[in-house]
Amino acid sequence: MAGIDETRPFVAVGIAVLTVSDTRKPDNDRSGDTLAERITQAGHRLAARDIATDDAEAIRAVVKKWVTDEKVDVVITTGGTGFTGRDITPEALEPLFDKRMDGFSEVFHRISFDKIGTSTIQSRATAGLIGTTFVFVLPGSPGACRDAWDGILKAQLDYRHMPCNFVEIMPRLDEHLKRGAGASA
């Protein structure tokens, strides 16, 4: 049965939040605020926070910097997952994924469907792994950020969550790099 194993210690991870928007500023970034609040309330470290315009190179520059930062274990973006011309966050980040996490989108849409019905199909939420950093691409509404955090990320980023979680596999994410290095040595 899924749940928290209180015999295991809580392990805080570093999470960076990127809001993708042409209009948001620090004083009106409600989605970024929602994520930052939930991250710190859960006991994790808000490792970084920024806002980038709906520009693929701007988005990639921030995420590329964060995935090489040892203090950042997880990147969560909010915004740019719709269908308008400026919504390009999935296009900006999916080519960087070493591994896709298709199940994230599927579970996100199931949770979202229960709240907003068929309107969930207007989101292209996605996730993947870049190097050893988990990257989650969320819609830009505070409600979608709450749904993703409360319904998926809070549990999967808690080492105590059983039967499995992302935190317990983090030390093994670079196994393919180690194997590759060992094979050529």
* In-domain check, residue 81: yes
* In-domain check, residue 23: yes
CATH number for 166: 3.40.980.10
Cα angle vertex 94, ends 57, 99, to 5°? Answer: 135
* In-domain check, residue 4: no
Taking all residues of the chain, what is their mean pLDDT, rounded to a whole number? Answer: 94
d(CA 83, CA 69) in angstroms, rounded, equals 31
* In-domain check, residue 140: yes
Contact 44, 14 (CB under 8 A): yes
Whole-number pLDDT of residue 1? 75
Instruction: Give residue-wise pLDDT tens across range 116-162.
Output: 999 999 999 999 999 999 999 999 999 999 999 999 999 999 999 99
Whole-number pLDDT of residue 12? 97
Give the mean pLDDT of 39-49. 98
Instruction: Give residue-wise pLDDT tens across range 167-185.
Output: 999 999 887 656 454 444 3
Contact 134, 97 (CB under 8 A): no
Whole-number pLDDT of residue 178? 60
DSSP state of 38: H
Please give the C-alpha separations between residue 9 and each of 46, 56, 97, 168, in angstroms, as whole numbers. 19, 39, 30, 11
pTM for this entry: 0.94
* In-domain check, residue 2: no
Whole-number pLDDT of residue 156? 98
Instruction: Give residue-wise pLDDT tens across range 71-125.
Output: 999 999 999 999 999 999 999 999 999 999 999 999 999 999 999 999 999 999 9
Structural domain count of the chain: 1
Whole-number pLDDT of residue 183? 42
Query: 101 lies in which domain range?
Result: 12-184
- Chain position carrying tokens 């989650």: 136
